[in-house]
Amino acid sequence: MSDLVEVRTGVYHDSVSLMRVSQALTARAGVEVAVVAMATELNVDLARDLGFAVPAATGGDLLVAIRASSGEELDDAAAELERQLAARAPAGQAGAGETPPRTMRSASRSWDATVALVSVPGEHAFVEAADAVEAGLSVMIFSDNVPVEQEILLKDRARDKGVLVMGPDCGTAVIGGAGLGFANVLRPGPVGVVAASGSGAQQVTSLLDLAGIGVSHLLGVGGRDLSAQVGGRSAIQALRALDADPATELIVLVSKPPAPEVAAAVTGLGLCKPVVHALLGPGQDDLTAAAEKVLRALGAPVPEWPSWPAVRQGRAEGGPLRGLYSGGTLCTEAALIAGTGEFTDFGGDEYTRGRAHPMIDPALRLEALAAVESGVVLLDVVLGHGADPDPAAALAPAIREAGDRGVAVVVALVGTVGDPQGLRAQAALLNEAGADVFTSNAAAARHASDLIGAS
């Protein structure tokens, strides 16, 4: 065995890009393991646990640790590493002899930008986002694990500066047709969306797209925005912005279960345009019902949402229901509908610290699925830019193996026909592996409940 270990100072790539580099290297013949990641404490510990001799490093350094069967294969992997990193170099970087921007503020002077995207480890996100706000930029904070006190400070300062903070833990936004974070390919149209929920917004807008209705803007505000602590600070700004937007005819407000007093505040703003509320909670509309309300309000027909039933021998007889989700709001919705079972949001902060989001890296969910011995498993597959380029390829073998153990698998497939993964192609692969596939998460949850006799 031959090892390569390097710590490169002053080199930054986002975690998604580095995860894909690691996957590409590990897939090469002769490569036993590859860790290419920012040198956070967690990643350094991971490399050391794998037996690599990692020197001292800081979270701002790039860690490279590759183990191969021979020196020649290690050299080939090192050459491929350089090709992979070069292909992921940031667009618009400084040319020869120029000094690249080192801060958000200096970048805003160099480029004609109005929105900044922050995707760094949570402990560093506040400084970068605050710099963007002070530069007069609205900012989408993709980073999670940001203290709520910092979120409140950022949002108050943004309001004073006349800009919007989307996040922290803002998974998706679409501004004038440009997708940020996890973003489905959506047709343009009259519906504006404000979302304290990433996957919930993706579900609603994907269903609307399947029904032929497009979106003007989708403004994510972070999953905590409608909590009692944050008080809807960004949601109120975003709702008023869409109310003034000439391209928006109707607004949808999507959220995980909000604090009651905050829900009352954001639903009582007295906006000029109609608002459909998709605020999850006991006795409230599910996300599919909310999308159908939007269609009726616009005078559009409500279609039969596409689904692909599995052909299996018999059906699950009782047994547990396990929900293995990548989208937090989809997980909450399914749990509310099912009313029973064990549900895990693998996109929660405790699962994403130091590793890629499960919409990108399926490893934790695959492990959890492999451990289920009976009953029904309900899971989501979310398509779009930023997500796994072929999630069905990894899930299909695990679904077949689950079926061999007598476990029924039900999939909520969230996406549009324009998404790069191909909605129908993904549905076909998952269905052929033995899964019942639904484009409505609510329908998937009801079907899973029915399979265990809980409805």
Residue whose structure tokens are 């801060």: 103
CATH homologous superfamily of 101-168 equals NAD(P)-binding Rossmann-like Domain (3.40.50.720)
- Residue-level pLDDT, tens digit, the chain, 455 residues: 899 999 999 787 777 678 788 888 988 999 999 999 888 887 888 889 899 999 999 878 899 999 999 999 999 999 999 998 888 765 544 444 456 676 777 777 777 789 999 988 788 899 999 999 999 999 999 988 899 999 999 999 999 999 999 999 998 999 989 999 999 999 999 999 999 999 999 999 999 999 999 999 999 999 999 999 999 999 999 999 999 999 999 999 999 999 999 999 999 999 999 999 999 999 999 999 999 999 999 999 999 999 999 976 555 556 799 999 999 999 999 999 999 999 999 988 788 776 778 898 888 999 999 999 999 999 999 999 989 999 999 999 999 999 999 999 999 999 999 999 999 999 999 999 999 999 999 999 999 999 998 54
CATH node for 186-303? 3.40.50.261
N residues, the chain: 455
For 41-80, the DSSP string reads HHHHHHHHHTT-------TTSEEEEEEESSHHHHHHHHHH
Q: Is the fold of 2-87 the same as that of 101-168? A: no
CATH topology of domain 2-87: Alpha-Beta Plaits (3.30.70)
How many whole angstroms separate alpha carbon 438 and alpha carbon 431?
10
CATH architecture designation of domain 307-451: 3-Layer(aba) Sandwich (3.40)
Domain boundaries, the chain: 2-87, 101-168, 186-303, 307-451
Helices (H), 147-227: 148-161, 198-210
* Inter-residue contact 407 to 310 (CB < 8 Å): no
244: left (phi over 0), alpha (psi -120 to 50) or beta: alpha
Burial pattern 359-397, b for ≥16 Cβ within 10 A else e, equals: bbbbebbbebbeebeebbbbbbbbbbbbbbebbbeebbe
**E strands within 280-414?**
307-308, 321-325, 342-345, 376-382, 408-414
End-to-end CA distance of the chain: 56
Alpha-carbon Rg for the chain, nearest whole angstrom, is: 23
DSSP state of 453: T
Residues 214, 220, 224, 230, CA torsion sign? negative
